[in-house]
Amino acid sequence: MLKSLQNAFESIQQDSSARVVMIRSLVPGVFCAGADLKVRRTMSPSEVHTYVNSLRYMFSFMEALSIPTIAAIEGAALGGGLEMALACDLRICGENAVFGLPETGLAIIPGAGGTQRLSRLVGRSVSKELIFTGRKIDAIEAATKGLVNICVTAGEAHEKAIEMAQQINEKGPLAIKMAKKAIDEGIETNMASGLEVEEMCYQKLLNTQDRLEGLAAFAEKRKPLYTGK
């Protein structure tokens, strides 16, 4: 499955027509429950290290996609499953969702980005609490802590994700890419450097056909027809 996901993300990266990526599970009650611990027992330390590194690489690759990614979460998102959701730009969950990073209960830590992405998303103190205790939280608490963007009725996460993707798809595709770049790169540095990143991204949009189309559509009181050029 890991290899299939990697192949899918690589194909998306090369597809200039792609605008939004959505990740969901077709398994009822489970978004992704993480590693198979029965298999993990049979693996040597070096095999585990290689496997976790491949997970970390894939999630970082997914995170670095230039277009928005949305995780539509129903049911359990645990361990590596939550780490995958954390690598997405947006998270929408059904009220039946359950989240957790239980690794410390197995005498390890989240190793595919969990310690870093969770802290950046919900803050250092909340991240430490959830990782130190390994406790699971429900959808309402996840929304309250900022772990997910939107919580909807169970079974409706996919529909809400499609609705959000359609809203994003109506906007200028180059602008969406530059907005993601400005936010992701800017947040990792100080304000002055972040503003420089924002300026650079803004300048890349000044001479685009889409910018002129947006102004024309506004003046003519119609919906813009963006082409990504």
Active site residues: 35, 80, 83, 103
Give 76's strand partners: 30, 98
CB neighbour list of residue 195: distance below 8 Å, 6 or more residues apart = 186
Token digits for 49?
Answer: 């290290």
Alpha carbon distance 70, 165 (integer Å): 8
- The Cβ of residue 160 has, within 10 Å, a number of other Cβ atoms equal to 19
DSSP string, 131-143: HHH---EEHHHHH
Burial degree of 5 (CB within 10 A; 0-12, 13-18, 19+): middle
The CA-based diameter of the chain, rounded to the nearest angstrom, is 66
